[in-house]
Amino acid sequence: MSALPRAHELGLIGCHICGLVCRDTQMPDAACPRCGGSLHRRAPGSRARTWALLIAAFILYIPANFLPIMRTASLGDVDDNTILSGVVELWVKGSPDLAVIVFTASIVVPMLKFLVLGTLLLSVHCGTNWARTQRAKLYRLVEFIGYWSMLDVFVVSLLTALVQFGFFSQVEPLPGVVYFGLTVVLTMLASMSFDPRLIWDCKEEDD
């Protein structure tokens, strides 16, 4: 891979909006001839913006796990559930498959996104050429699985809309689901703001 020429060595630049490969005129106001988007060899402020979004998402993820996300009332019995207590309740009540799905979507996937995006940002900051192909694949994986983190929000929304039987049965969303939804949105924005082309930059090559 290191023997292959890079785009800027060939005088080429890719549009980050439509993907069109253009000639690099090195003009500050260069625009893509197809979509009109600004052409940059690397997206301006990508690292700082991704770090800010990722840190904000991690801060919000803490109350998302400790605050209850849903209140269920059945025949006067009120029960508040956090993400983990909901998973445990599903497992105990004989739905291990659903418990595993919710645990994966609500705990494993967000933590995986934090870990992968943090690793990508640190490796880009260090300018290392370590496992660049694998890091690019990890980034595509994060983009692919990101939307599945909204499973908990969808479940609470559906239950709130469908299970409304007054005193007999009622489901009510609680503040934890708001924090969790904001966490998912911020991690998706973080992965979108990260410029994967930075993976292929290396201090040794640039120097």
Spell out where the chain has E strands: 12-14, 21-23, 70-74, 77-81, 169-173
Same-domain status, 35 and 137:
no
Same-domain status, 54 and 31:
no
Higher-confidence position of 39 and 78 = 39
CATH number of the domain that residue 152 is part of: 1.20.140
Total number of domains in the chain: 2
Same-domain status, 125 and 171:
yes
Same-domain status, 28 and 60:
no
Same-domain status, 75 and 166:
yes
Instruction: Report how far residue 118's alpha carbon sits from residue 179's, in angstroms, rounded to the nearest whole number.
Output: 20
Same-domain status, 3 and 83:
no
**Structural domain for 19, as ranges:** 1-41
Q: Nearest-5° angle of CA 113, CA 119, CA 120?
A: 90
User: Taking Cα atoms as reference points, which of 138, 142, 135, 169 lies closest to residue 54?
Assistant: 142
Same-domain status, 28 and 117:
no
* Residue matched to tokens 């800010």: 52
Same-domain status, 69 and 159:
yes
Is 61 in contact with 110 (CB distance < 8 Å)?
A: yes
CB-count exposure of residue 71 (10 Å: 0-12, 13-18, 19+): middle
- Residues 26-54: tens digit of each pLDDT: 777 788 888 887 887 777 788 899 999 99
Same-domain status, 143 and 100:
yes
- Determine the average pLDDT of the residues in 62-69: 88
Per-residue confidence (pLDDT) for residue 75, from 0 to 100: 62
- Summary mean pLDDT of the chain: 78
pLDDT of residue 132 exceeding 50: yes
Same-domain status, 14 and 100:
no
Same-domain status, 26 and 82:
no
